[in-house]
Amino acid sequence: MTPTRVTLVILGASGDLTSRLLLPGLGTLLKNRLAHDVRLVGAAVEAMPAAQWRSLVATALGEGGCPADELGPLLASTEFVQLDVTNREHLAALLARVDEPGRPVVLYFALPPTVSQRACELLADLELPDGLRLAIEKPFGSSLESAQEFNRVLTSVVPEDQIFRVDHYLGKATVLNLLGLRFANRIFEPIWNATNIEWVDIVVDEQLALEGRAGYYDHAGALRDMVQSHLLLVLAMVAMEAPARIDALEVRDLMSHTLRRVHLVGDSGSSSRRARYTAGTVDGRAVPDYVDEEGMDTANKTETLAEVELEIRNARWAGVRFRLRSGKALGSGVRAIIVKFREVAYLPEGFEGRAPANVLVLGMAPESIQLAIATNGGGRAWNFEVTPLSIQLGQSELRPYGEILEGIITGDPLLSVRGDVAEECWRILTPVLEAWRAGEVPLEEYPAGSDGPNSWD
Ligand code: NDP
């Protein structure tokens, strides 16, 4: 097999994302899918000595399990470039330096979002390597209008199929597994509809608090950070129609098609809730009040827990409530897609009590599947018990960033977010953002380590 040759230029290579997620993800890719020949170039404002850069790369790729025979050649060819990406001459010089026949270039923007956008605006007037790919990190815009504007900038530089908007949730095993679970098992897809399903919860409750990302988080909050991007994309995978092929056109068309039908249940005030943690203890760790965290601006009214209730206006899902929720410094750390089925339409007379409804829980960390079924006969003959069928899924070969990077390196945008999909995610939540800005929804409080405000379900 001929190796895929690519030059991966990470802009923002001295940042947290690069060493903690991106390079370890690449490490899992180089370990498990050997047919990639990657020339790696790092770039940032502050200079970094070559030895320090090579050591950073070796450590981070090693964390992903990159074998020594892959690491050696990559370390021999890697380099670090000092530049300001908002400087036209610097960008032009970088492009000239990395352009090489037969080796497509990926510019990976691991930069603050405003810096990424400014750099892309400059690219529009520069001479670009043939087939240049742009990989753009989240958050993609901060509102519908800003996402539309960024899309206009990007598509003035390269065509849409060379733009990779990164959302690593699309590389998570549980999310990928939704396609197999639904469309490769006869027992799920025929009942995957409003006739049989009462509600779906998509929940990512984190025990972690701010973990050094306060500067970013205080301007984003839980709704923008998690619900607007990750959780709406998971919703699209849960609810989309069956693809005829697993490819970028088919799957992303169907995600877009589903998201276009997603709306808040009722008005924007009643279908959303927000709260912020106060001091408490999470898993034995003391967590300060959010407003006492360094760098917080109380005027931002940043929520650390957000919840929205949505409906999908189509024949498959009419009447089903989808609840998306995510927050920080929470007690239980639930990360799961929970599908609650309706009770049976008719229960034979003679059973005692009602049959409990089935519940399917797809755990995201660790990856697991649990199905609660009603059984009887184990205790009293005609009494029901809830019996869980439960399995842990095996460890994935690739970390989520490895999955995403494989698409970028091979030029397959299947697992990246298409421009219209990114805009739909903002369109869905715009009324919530407006209602919160207008003070129509109170900012409640919960002690760190609890499961949210007492008054919430
Ligand atoms: P950091 O603040 O840790 O790093 C930012 C990087 O950008 C640094 O290398 C910095 O270089 C560089 N940089 C800033 N301005 C310029 C410029 N004008 N020219 C060249 N380089 C520049 O950010 P993160 O790594 O945390 O995040 C990067 C992106 O990834 C953001 O968009 C973020 O939202 C996204 N992201 C981050 C995640 C995370 O867990 N960290 C998770 C998901 C997404 P220097 O230090 O030399 O100034």
Q: Would you state the pLDDT for residue 149?
A: 98
Q: For residue 153, is it within any domain?
A: no
Q: For residue 407, is it within any domain?
A: no
313 shares its domain with 441: yes
- Other Cβ atoms closer than 10 A to 320: 22
121 shares its domain with 190: no
Report how far ligand 1's centroid is from the alpha carbon of 16 (Å).
7
Q: Do 303 and 325 touch, CB atoms closer than 8 A?
A: no
Q: Would you state the pLDDT for residue 213?
A: 76
Ligand 1 in contact with 110 (CB < 6 A)? yes
Q: For residue 156, is it within any domain?
A: no
Report how far ligand 1's centroid is from the alpha carbon of 443 (Å).
30
Query: Does residue 378 surpass a pLDDT of 70?
Result: yes
- DSSP for 77-133, written as a single string: H-EEEE--TTSHHHHHHHHHHH-BTTB-EEEEE-S-HHHHHHHHHHHTTS---TT-E
pLDDT band at 120 (very low <50, low <70, confident <90, very high): very high
The pLDDT of 97-110, averaged and rounded, is 96
Of 207-211, 248-252, 282-286, the range with the lowest mean pLDDT is: 207-211
Question: Would you say how long the chain is, in residues?
Answer: 457
Q: What is the CATH number of the domain that holds 126?
A: 3.40.50.720
* pLDDT more than 70, % of the chain: 99
Final residue belonging to a domain, choices 83, 116, 137: 137
Q: What is the DSSP letter of 200?
A: E
CA distance 125 to 139: 25
Q: What is the Cα Rg of the chain in Å? A: 24
The pLDDT of 232-252, averaged and rounded, is 98
pLDDT, tens digit, 9 for 90 and up, residues 294-329: 878 888 899 999 999 999 999 999 999 999 999 999
Best substitution site from 10, 17, 94 to test ligand 1's pocket, by max atoms within 8 Å of Cβ?
17
119 shares its domain with 188: no
Between 366 and 151, whose confidence is greater?
151
* pLDDT more than 90, % of the chain: 88
Cα distance between the two ends of the chain? 54
Q: Do 329 and 345 touch, CB atoms closer than 8 A?
A: no
Q: Would you state the pLDDT for residue 34?
A: 66
Nearest CA to ligand 1 atom 23: 15
CA distance 87 to 378: 72
202 shares its domain with 262: yes
Q: Do 4 and 35 touch, CB atoms closer than 8 A?
A: yes
Q: Do 45 and 82 touch, CB atoms closer than 8 A?
A: yes
pLDDT band at 214 (very low <50, low <70, confident <90, very high): confident
Query: Does residue 180 surpass a pLDDT of 80?
Result: yes
Best substitution site from 11, 14, 22, 111 to test ligand 1's pocket, by max atoms within 8 Å of Cβ?
111
Q: Would you state the pLDDT for residue 300?
A: 86
194 shares its domain with 318: yes
Q: What is the CATH number of the domain that holds 197?
A: 3.30.360.10
339 shares its domain with 385: yes
Q: Do 71 and 36 touch, CB atoms closer than 8 A?
A: no
Query: Does residue 282 surpass a pLDDT of 90?
Result: yes
Tokens standing for residue 100: 């090489």
pLDDT band at 394 (very low <50, low <70, confident <90, very high): confident
Q: Are strands 4-11 and 36-44 parallel, antiparallel or unpaired?
A: parallel
174 shares its domain with 89: no
Q: For residue 157, is it within any domain?
A: no
Q: Would you state the pLDDT for residue 117?
A: 97
79 shares its domain with 193: no
- DSSP for 126-182, written as a single string: S---TT-EEEEPSP--SSHHHHHHHHHHHHTTS-GGGEEE--GGGGSHHHHHHHHHH
338 shares its domain with 430: yes
Final residue belonging to a domain, choices 137, 160, 180: 137
pLDDT band at 188 (very low <50, low <70, confident <90, very high): very high
Q: Do 168 and 28 touch, CB atoms closer than 8 A?
A: no
Q: For residue 188, is it within any domain?
A: yes
Q: Do 287 and 449 touch, CB atoms closer than 8 A?
A: yes
Report how far ligand 1's centroid is from the alpha carbon of 278 (Å).
28
Give the residue among 155, 91, 96 at the shortest CA–CA distance from 123: 91
Measured in degrees and rounded to the nearest 5, phi and psi for residue 15 equal -85, 175
Query: Does residue 268 surpass a pLDDT of 90?
Result: no
Report how far ligand 1's centroid is from the alpha carbon of 301 (Å).
24
Q: Do 319 and 238 touch, CB atoms closer than 8 A?
A: no
The pLDDT of 18-42, averaged and rounded, is 92
Q: Would you state the pLDDT for residue 293?
A: 84
Report how far ligand 1's centroid is from the alpha carbon of 44 (Å).
9
CA distance 186 to 188: 6
Tokens standing for residue 440: 């129509």
Ligand 1 in contact with 45 (CB < 6 A)? yes
Q: Which strand (E) or helix (H) includes residue 41? A: strand 36-44
Q: What angle do CA 228, 231, 232 make, to 5 degrees?
A: 65
Q: Would you state the pLDDT for residue 67?
A: 87
* Residue owning tokens 């050094």: 212
Q: For residue 37, is it within any domain?
A: yes
112 shares its domain with 190: no
Please give the model's pTM, rounded to 2 decimal places. 0.96
Structural domains counted in the chain? 2
Query: Does residue 35 surpass a pLDDT of 80?
Result: no
Q: For residue 455, is it within any domain?
A: no
Ligand 1 in contact with 12 (CB < 6 A)? yes
Residue 126 domain boundaries: 4-137
pLDDT, tens digit, 9 for 90 and up, residues 38-93: 999 999 999 999 999 999 999 999 999 998 888 898 999 999 999 999 999 999 99
Catalytic-residue membership of 257: no
Burial 36-56 (b: 16+ CB within 10 A, else e): bbbbbbbbbeeebeeeebbeb
Q: For residue 435, is it within any domain?
A: yes
Ligand 1 nearest atom to the CA of residue 44, by list position: 21
The sign of the torsion formed by the CA atoms of 259, 261, 263, 265 equals negative
175 shares its domain with 89: no
Query: Does residue 1 surpass a pLDDT of 70?
Result: no
249 shares its domain with 208: yes
Final residue belonging to a domain, choices 93, 112, 137: 137
Query: Does residue 130 surpass a pLDDT of 90?
Result: yes
Q: Are strands 197-205 and 335-341 parallel, antiparallel or unpaired?
A: antiparallel
Ligand 1 in contact with 453 (CB < 6 A)? no
